[in-house]
Amino acid sequence: MIKLFVKWDIVLISPNARIYYFACELLWCALSLYQYLVEVVASPEIGPLFSRLSTQMENIAGWALQERHSPIENEKPQPGEEEALFSAAGKLRDPLTMGWSDELQAAARAAHQRFPLIGETTWLHYYYCAFLPQVLKEFDQLVQRLDSPNQFYQRYRKNITLFDNVREACQKEHPSVDKVDVVSQEALSELLTEMEAFAVRLGAQWRQTVISAAQGA
């Protein structure tokens, strides 16, 4: 399990603004993870797999990078507070990226051992495509539950198409039944259930990291 703690001292920026800032930051982190995997895995298979998602992911990543500034522009914190936000986010990025990468690669290796007809890199792609929609779901729920008045949820909803496009693209990326024999169908179904639970667990970790960072826990 990834455990990250960032301490900082900000009292003037509202809880809503802090949560939204870190939600956008760590959404971008989850999106940029795939590019990190492309570089780390360095497999000829992963490029074509990534190309099936790249446009949708680049669009939402660009939005997240821009949107993270909206809480700062809205509340106009003192320079020291703004620097504290940036510093706290910076301390999270590398540990999160490497932690997620390790977990995804370990899951892909285990799945490949059980179903060797599907390449390890392809399994890595499938696991990432299970993980990312869960992050999007957690982002939606987290921002939706901010205290009223909740202007940030309205800002997010105006761009919901970007999120829907990524979800739809990821939903198409899953193991094909024709890759395994009939005897293995039940085992594959069991693995897909495990994959979903894996994604839910990482999504919950993403949410808790956002909350902890916003609280300065």
Q: What is the pLDDT of residues 111-126, one digit of tens each?
A: 999 888 888 999 999 9
Q: Identify whether 81 is part of a domain.
A: yes
Q: Which residue has the higher pLDDT, 216 or 99?
A: 99
pLDDT at 187: 83
Q: Identify whether 23 is part of a domain.
A: yes
pLDDT digits (tens, 9 = 90+) for 124-139: 999 999 999 999 999 9
pLDDT at 20: 94
pLDDT at 183: 55
Task: Answer yes or no: is pLDDT of 10 > 50.
Answer: no
Copy the structure tokens of residue 122: 């392809």
Q: Calculate Rg over the CA atoms of the chain.
A: 18
Q: Identify whether 124 is part of a domain.
A: yes
Q: Identify whether 7 is part of a domain.
A: no
Task: Report yes or no: 216 and 10 within 8 Å, Cβ to Cβ.
Answer: yes
Q: What's the domain range around 174?
A: 15-215
Count: domains in the chain? 1
Residue 173's pLDDT band (cuts 50, 70, 90): very high
Task: Report yes or no: 150 and 20 within 8 Å, Cβ to Cβ.
Answer: no
